[in-house]
Amino acid sequence: MTVVVLVVLAVIYWLTGGQMFNPGPLAAAHADIEDCAACHQPLNTSQGELCMECHTEIRLEIAAETGLHARVKNAASCLNCHPDHRGTNFDMRTAAVDHFDHEQALFSLSRHTLDYDQSPFECRDCHSPAGFNADLLACLDCHENAAPEFMQPHVAAFGLNCLECHDGVDRMSGFNHAETDFPLTGNHEALDCASCHQDGQFADTPLDCAACHVEPGAHAGLFPATCGDCHNPAGWTPALLHGISFDHFKETGFSLVRHETHFDGSSLNCKVCHVNSLDTFDGQTCEQCHTSGNASFMTLHLADFGPNCLDCHDGLDSMNNFDHNSVFLLDGAHSALACTNCHADNRFKGTPEACSDCHSEPELHAGLFGLQCDSCHSTNAWQPAALTRHSFPLDHGDEGVIACATCHPSTFVQYTCDLCHEPLKMVEEHSDKDIFNIAARCLECHPTGLKDEKED
């Protein structure tokens, strides 16, 4: 009976072409396969190997360890995710979703279970209808509708390839740049990401200063590329020289703001002025350089002021458009004087300003007038003199102009009223009005000589 049954089954198998073992119609993707052996050779090879013979792109992906299938465990057991014989309307790829761990695609759904309106996400919300490739425009549409003020500058800075930075967890959320090989400090801290990561590229960003900062002309060929030896992100200046904070203006009194280029526009470097060493300076370099730029001016300038340029110049330049009247008015006979008449040996700081420092007191004046020369004299000429600062009337007493000696018996820088006004009587009269200590203080209350000028 067993033999008969087996013979009958063999005949049926032969007559139906093996369809008696067919579990059902193939999916549409395999509907054109008529030979079962194309997918089933149980005694010869595994079914997964047969799948790979047709789906070569998957086999190459797994071999190169790239792409999604290279990250799926037991990827060669295709039927685990893609069963068949479920009918022509059965989508083998959609069926894989039930068995698929989305984190294998390097994008977690932990933050993408609900949309901004709290509705559940569906696969088609992020994947193109043609397949399961991520639709990056869907990312843009969704997030831009929710936060346009953030997304517009974000896309402008980093582009549309969201998956380069975002994995759904999100790994960029709370990102701390200080934990990378390049902490952001000083002026780097205020930069936006796109300043260093252009075109949305974050991998292999150069860390050396020269990658972003062009070497100044003043440095060319003088210093190594290890900028951090002298400079730090807090600011280009002050720099460190031999490990000590160095600001050229503060340390030397000479600013470099007007000495960045030669007369021909080429860059000035440190060696132009510090020929032998950065620690030494030869003033002749000033003379040689400026003479080459303006020889006619320098010839006269050196003749007048000598070669000690730093006595007057600080590089800003403080002497540029200098107005002498802001320091000491030059008018009258002073206006025609050469600088060296007052500034002997080219010394400008601490120049005395009193008349007597330049003009000896005449014997006629000795001990009489004091040193307030401008009370009688002007810069136009020594003579004629004129009393220019006498506010007290010279006809005091209504008897015409009185003699100077009446009020100034011994010197013209002091006065007395005692020769005309008896001191004791004046004390008595003022004490009646509760005014005391009047000695030599008359002008405080009577600047124009009138008796009732100031009662208080």
pLDDT digits (tens, 9 = 90+) for 350-388: 888 888 888 888 877 777 777 778 878 888 888 888 777
Helix 284-293 vs helix 295-305: crossing angle, to nearest 10: 140
Give dist(CA 352, CA 112) in Å, integer.
83
What does the pLDDT read at residue 18?
A: 60
Nearest C-alpha neighbor of 97 from the set 109, 117, 81: 81
Give dist(CA 454, CA 456) in Å, integer.
6
Q: pLDDT tens digit string along 11-24?
A: 877 776 566 677 88
pTM of the model: 0.39
Please name every residue paired with 239 in a beta bridge, in sequence order, or none if there are none: 246
Query: Kind of pairing, strands 239-241 and 244-246?
Result: antiparallel
Residues of the chain with pLDDT under 50: none
Q: How far is the CA of 227 from the CAs of 182, 201, 209, 211, 450, in angstroms?
A: 15, 25, 7, 12, 79
Contact 161, 136 (CB under 8 A): yes
Quickly count: other Cβ atoms within 10 Å of residue 259's Cβ. Answer: 17
Contact 314, 255 (CB under 8 A): yes
